Amino acid sequence: MSSRQAGHTERCGSVSVEIGVDGRHFKLDTAKSTYALAVTEEGYLGHAYYGSSVRHLNYDQLLRLDEYPQEPRLLLREQSRFLNVFPFEFPASGLGDQRRCALELEDAQGYPGCDLRYQDFELIRGKPALEGLPSSYASEDGALTLIILLEDPHLKARVSLYYSLFDGEEVIVRSACLENLGNTPLQLSALISASLDLEPAAYQVLSLDGSWGRERQLNLRPLGSGCLEIDSRRGISSHEHNPFIALLAPGASQHQGEVYALALCYSGNHLQRAELTEHGRVRLQAGINPATFGWTLQPGSSFCAPEAFLTYSATGLDGMTHAYHDFMRSHLLPEPFARSHRPVLANTWEAFYFNFNEDSLLKFARQAAQLGWELVVVDDGWFGERHNDESSLGDWQVNPGKFPAGLGAFARKLQDLGLSVGLWFEPEMISPNSNLYRAHPDWALQLPGRPISQCRSQYVLDLSNPAVLEYCRHSLCAVLDTAPIAYLKWDMNRSLDCAGSLYLPAGRQRELMHRYVLGVYSLLSYLRERYPRLLIEGCSGGGGRFDAGMLRYCPQIWCSDDMDVLERLYIQEGTALVYPLSTISCHVGAAQCSCTGRNWPLDLRFLSALLGGFGYELNLGALSPGELESIKGQLKLHRALESLLLCGDYHRLLSVRENGERDAWCVVSKDRREALAVLIQIKAKPNTRSLRLRLIGLDPALDYEIEGQEGCLGGDELMHCGLPLDTLGAGAQGRLWVLHAR
């Protein structure tokens, strides 16, 4: 159902959209926030307000229309100044707004500039999908979507702005689609998904930055005059900069204060930026990175920007985290995996690398079955002539020397042991030493006349080419159809350089980076539809493509190749700030971490891996009988806690990043009757007194039993006085508490 009726309010559970009587004022309300827009007499769409819920608004005052140079009587003589201060909802460049803009467009003669004026609106129930891009979803009675139409009659260009609100959620989903209504091509060089002009304040900028092995570290710094940008130009969302940005108002912290956040639902080159203007206002934006983007928009065609997930919290970072976790679990992750059981997996990589055959894998599987593991993942080395990492990517045929009776027969043997089988793939890559490359050298990304750069002895397939996509679909399905494969690990181990396409015409090479990402989404979407119960885990050299776009197809993503306990605490704190715990693949690794050389006891490795999707990366033959028994107990405990970890509210209690000694978090069920708290001590100081760990999120009126302890403690006591930590000794160690309401 759609409506263009002005002067009414449409409701959907906890959210509503109010349309002014003149059809030029729009107020979007969630349970805790208000987002407001207004159109001036000249047709400019302005951003009026975003923050805590407000019943009534004075739009003219919020837009400062009575202030110079926005006063209407001065507009003709001061239009340039007006355009440079007005809080545009979707600013376009070239005609007077000198700030960073959301739309950069040229006509057929190469002249820049776009003048967007309000035309109309439409209000629909439900949530429309974006063609070719990952989209959040909702039932028709579970969401409202406001569509605002802006047009430039000179260019014959139309922009449709989408705002979706979801019943029970505190996230507003934004996107923008550009249409060419004319008879000549338009050249698009930037289309940002969401732009937000905010009131002056001494904001701090929060981003998740790092590198391979230390992804998504919290990075908080003041926003000074000018523009702060966080981006990727690597063809993937990257290890270095996650597609997320937040602004913290003065006084904001983990549990209090105002936070504005944008998370981009995109897996390629992205840009987040915050600009502090000369008048103290802040412009916050997120979208495809214009630095590596260009698009020829033919007459009658359109281009849609990816979705951006916008949220406002008045309760600090905790409120932001809960908004994102709840929203992604309910409206982004693929069914049936959002809240359902995930098999505890054993990955063969640490045990064998490339050196295995069916007999050695079966021996490993029997040990795994005895421990209670549910899934064995054959990680690399099962295809082509893949005896090391220097060949065979693209030759996705089972190696008969390793599986003489075929993959199907091997999978059935595992089924007899009560185990499922999973496989590692790297579908986007091609080895120079492969049958595929020898047959189709033009399928690799390359710049004519220049040598192709190698990384890990591999090139990148040109996923903008339909023939390449068809080959990938066929080769993947040829394997998946021969055996009951329950899990696919989708890896991608290098950045995109030498990024030229022999398929695309010369004048459209700047489309490649985005078309590549569309190709990835096309393949994943095809697999999701054909194999709806196939569990796909995303991976990109560890955590190099951990973003909301991939989560639409992959309900979990490998967090990092670094499984060192201390490093994982840093990585997982940043990741869990935005992404649900169920999406974070956290495994128990070897005692000595290959990335750092540090040794960690098994119980501490288990506690650090509890934060997300659980599994093991171990050489079972190297474990002692005592360690094997400990693993059985770990699996039993994890199964008892899995539902809580999948669906509960996560709270950060202590950060080893801040204090250098201890890390702690808890998860509380939605009804607040069950809770889990974990503390990991990295080091201890001599001559100190005992501490207490204050929990968060419990019901103060309830009493809680703690497993393994006598008596009860009140929820109010646990939150205000805390759990005693006087039993902690020296060195690295951890504690776990499981609480049940009495």
Catalytic residue status for 561 = yes
Give the three-state DSSP class for 170.
coil
Residue 336 has what pLDDT?
Answer: 87
β-pair type (345-347, 375-378): parallel
Q: Is residue 523 a contact partner of residue 572, using CB atoms and an 8 Å limit?
A: no
Query: Which element (helix H / strand E) includes 720?
Result: helix 715-720
Task: For 195-220, give one letter per residue: b (16+ CB within 10 A) or e.
Answer: bbbbeebebbbbbbbbebbbbbbbee
Considering 167, 197, 561, 564, which one is annotated as catalytic? Answer: 561
Q: Is residue 688 a contact partner of residue 728, using CB atoms and an 8 Å limit?
A: no
Considering 29, 380, 395, 491, which one is annotated as catalytic? Answer: 491
Give the three-state DSSP class for 307.
coil
Q: Is residue 609 a contact partner of residue 567, using CB atoms and an 8 Å limit?
A: no
Same domain, 262 and 125: yes
Give the three-state DSSP class for 408.
helix
Write the CATH number for 685.
Answer: 2.60.40.1180
User: At 197, which amino acid appears?
Assistant: D
Whether 591 maps to a domain, the answer reads yes
Give whole-number Cα distances, 467 to 370, 440, 460, 471, 728, in Å.
Answer: 45, 11, 15, 6, 61
Whether 209 maps to a domain, the answer reads yes
What the block records as the tokens of 276 is: 């502090």
Whether 339 maps to a domain, the answer reads no
User: At 310, which amino acid appears?
Assistant: L
Q: Is residue 10 a contact partner of residue 123, using CB atoms and an 8 Å limit?
A: yes
Give the pTM: 0.96
Whether 341 maps to a domain, the answer reads no
Write the CATH number for 14.
Answer: 2.70.98.60
Same domain, 289 and 365: no
**How many separate domains does the chain show?**
3
Residue 78 has what pLDDT?
Answer: 80
Q: Determine the Cα–Cα distance for residues 498 and 447; give it in Å rounded to an integer.
A: 6
Catalytic residue status for 107 = no
Same domain, 141 and 35: yes
Which of 618, 647, 676 is at the close of a domain? 647
Q: Is residue 598 a contact partner of residue 563, using CB atoms and an 8 Å limit?
A: no
Q: Determine the Cα–Cα distance for residues 89 and 119; give it in Å rounded to an integer.
A: 14
Tell me how far the alpha carbon of residue 440 is from its chain's centroid. 34
Same domain, 665 and 642: no
Same domain, 361 and 322: no
Same domain, 135 and 195: yes
Same domain, 657 and 630: no
Residue 76 has what pLDDT?
Answer: 67
Question: Which structural domain range is residue 673 located in?
Answer: 653-741
Q: Is residue 696 a contact partner of residue 651, using CB atoms and an 8 Å limit?
A: yes
Q: Is residue 615 a contact partner of residue 587, using CB atoms and an 8 Å limit?
A: yes
Whether 345 maps to a domain, the answer reads no
Same domain, 461 and 443: yes
User: At 159, which amino acid appears?
Assistant: V
Same domain, 639 and 665: no
Could you read off the pLDDT of 23-45 as tens digits, one per residue? Answer: 999 999 999 999 999 999 999 99
Which of 647, 675, 710 is at the close of a domain? 647
Whether 322 maps to a domain, the answer reads yes
Residue that the structure tokens 């697999």 belong to: 527
Whether 343 maps to a domain, the answer reads no
What the block records as the tokens of 169 is: 């959620």
Q: Determine the Cα–Cα distance for residues 263 and 566; give it in Å rounded to an integer.
A: 26
Give whole-number Cα distances, 11 to 15, 144, 184, in Å.
Answer: 6, 8, 41
Q: Determine the Cα–Cα distance for residues 499 and 445; give it in Å rounded to an integer.
A: 5
Tell me how far the alpha carbon of residue 587 is from its chain's centroid. 19
User: At 642, which amino acid appears?
Assistant: E
Whether 338 maps to a domain, the answer reads no
Tell me how far the alpha carbon of residue 497 is from its chain's centroid. 23
Residue 314 has what pLDDT?
Answer: 98
DSSP state of 502: S
What the block records as the tokens of 352 is: 């064998």
Write the CATH number for 627.
Answer: 3.20.20.70
Residue 338 has what pLDDT?
Answer: 87
* Phi, psi values for residue 677, rounded to 5°: -125, 135
Q: Determine the Cα–Cα distance for residues 42 and 96; give it in Å rounded to an integer.
A: 15
Q: Which residues of the chain have a pLDDT value below 70? A: 1-3, 70-76, 726-730
Q: Determine the Cα–Cα distance for residues 616 and 587; give it in Å rounded to an integer.
A: 5
Give the three-state DSSP class for 102.
coil
Same domain, 311 and 359: no
Q: Determine the Cα–Cα distance for residues 540 and 490; give it in Å rounded to an integer.
A: 8
CB hemisphere CA count around 405 (13 angstroms): 8
Same domain, 684 and 608: no
Which of 331, 360, 379 is at the close of a domain? 331
Same domain, 229 and 188: yes
